[in-house]
C-alpha cells in the first residue's frame, strides 16, 4: 500500500470562545496518491476550516496531520510555510491572480519563494509555459488576467498551482465564480490532471463538481462522513 498523501488522525480544531466552537471534531481521513476527493457540506459546516488545516494555513488544536508521511502539527511556522510552498498547489474560488502581471508572470510567481539554483531561475518561464500548455492556455501567455474569461483565469490559477509538481492540488470552490460551460471545462481539466497522476482534493457545495469526483466525504457540524 502506497504512502497516503494526506493522513488525518483524530484531528480537532477548536476556536476559543465561550463555550469553545468545535469546527472540526475528531476527523479521520486518508487520501492516497491519484485520489480525486470531493469534500461537500453546507456552509458553516467546517469545510473552510478543514481546507485551511489541509493547506497548512491553520494548525489543528489536537490530532495528527501527515502529508507525504511528514507530521505537520509539530512543525514550526517557517517549516510549514516551506512545506506548503513545495507540496501543495492552491486553487481558489476567486483565482487570486495579480491584476498587473501577465498570465505567464502569475504562473512564474509560484517558484519565486522556492529556493532553487540560478539555472532553475533561468528556465522558470519555460516551465511556466509548459504548465500553461497543460491547462490549454498557451494562446493567452502574455495577456493580463482582466482580459481573460473566468474559466481561463481559473485555468491560469491551476497552471500556477501545477508549477513545481505539487503532491496535492487543493481546490476551494474552484467553480464557484464560473458559469456552467466554464465549470465543465475546469472539471474536464481536473479529470485530465488526475489521469496524469495528480492527487486532487476539491471542497465544494456544488453537486455537479462533487459528482465528478471518485470519492466523496461529507462534513456536517465538524464531523466527517464518507459517502
Partner 1 sequence: MDLRDLLNEAMAGMLARPVRTALTTLGTVLGITTLVITLGVAATAGNQIVGRFDALTATTVTVEVAENAKAAVEWDAVDQVTRLRGVTSAAAVAETKKSANLSVRSNKIIDPTRVTDQTLTVVATSTGLPGAVKGSMIQGRYFDAGHLARQDKVVVVGEQAAKMLGITRPDRAPAVFIGKHAYTVIGVLGAMQREKNLGTAVMVPPTIGKRFGIKDVTRVLINTSLGAADLIARQAPTALSPGNEAELQVIAPPSPTRARDAVQNDVNALFLILGLVSLVVGAVGIANVTLVTVMERVAEIGLRRSLGAARRHIAAQFLLESTLTGLTGGVIGASLGILAIVAVSAAKQWTPVLDLRLALIAPLAGALVGLLAGLYPALRAARMEPVDALR
Which residues of the chain form contacts with partner 1 (CB under 8 A)? 52, 55, 57-58, 77-78, 81-82, 84-86, 88, 90, 92, 94, 96, 98-101, 105, 109-110, 112-115, 118, 121, 160
Report the residue count for the chain: 227
Residue 159 or 212 having the CB closest to partner 1: 159
CB of 29 to partner 1, least distance (A): 19
Pairing of strands 21-31, 88-91: unpaired
Residue 84 or 153 having the CB closest to partner 1: 84
CB–CB of 128/122 below 8 Å?
Answer: no
**Cα–Cα–Cα angle for 12, 17, 23, rounded to 5 degrees:** 30
CB of 193 to partner 1, least distance (A): 19
CB–CB of 108/128 below 8 Å?
Answer: yes
Residue 81 or 167 having the CB closest to partner 1: 81
CA distance 127 to 107: 9
Residue with cell 483565482: 95
CB of 226 to partner 1, least distance (A): 26
CB of 20 to partner 1, least distance (A): 18
CA torsion angle 150 152 156 158 (round to 10): 80
Residue 119 or 139 having the CB closest to partner 1: 119
Residue 81 or 215 having the CB closest to partner 1: 81
Amino acid at each position: 500500500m502506497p504512502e497516503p498523501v494526506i493522513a488525518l488522525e483524530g484531528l480537532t480544531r477548536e476556536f476559543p470562545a465561550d463555550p469553545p466552537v468545535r469546527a472540526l471534531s475528531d476527523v479521520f481521513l486518508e487520501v492516497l496518491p491519484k485520489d480525486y476527493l470531493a469534500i461537500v457540506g453546507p456552509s458553516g459546516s467546517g469545510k473552510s476550516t478543514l481546507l485551511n488545516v489541509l493547506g497548512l494555513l491553520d494548525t489543528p488544536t489536537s490530532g495528527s496531520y501527515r502529508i507525504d508521511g511528514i507530521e505537520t502539527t509539530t512543525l514550526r511556522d517557517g517549516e510549514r510555510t516551506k512545506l506548503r510552498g513545495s507540496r501543495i498547489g492552491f486553487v481558489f474560488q476567486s483565482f487570486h491572480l495579480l491584476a498587473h502581471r501577465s498570465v505567464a508572470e502569475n504562473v512564474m510567481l509560484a517558484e519565486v519563494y522556492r529556493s532553487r539554483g540560478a539555472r532553475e531561475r533561468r528556465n522558470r518561464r519555460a516551465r511556466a509555459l509548459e504548465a500553461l500548455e497543460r491547462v490549454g492556455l498557451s494562446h493567452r501567455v502574455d495577456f493580463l488576467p482582466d482580459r481573460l474569461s473566468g474559466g481561463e483565469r481559473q485555468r491560469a490559477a491551476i497552471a500556477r498551482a501545477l508549477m513545481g509538481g505539487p503532491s496535492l492540488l487543493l481546490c476551494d470552490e474552484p467553480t464557484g465564480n464560473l458559469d456552467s460551460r466554464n465549470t465543465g471545462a475546469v472539471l474536464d481539466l481536473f479529470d485530465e490532471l488526475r489521469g496524469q497522476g495528480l492527487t486532487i482534493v476539491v471542497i465544494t457545495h456544488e453537486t455537479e463538481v462533487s459528482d465528478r469526483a471518485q470519492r466523496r466525504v461529507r462534513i456536517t457540524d465538524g464531523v466527517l462522513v464518507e459517502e
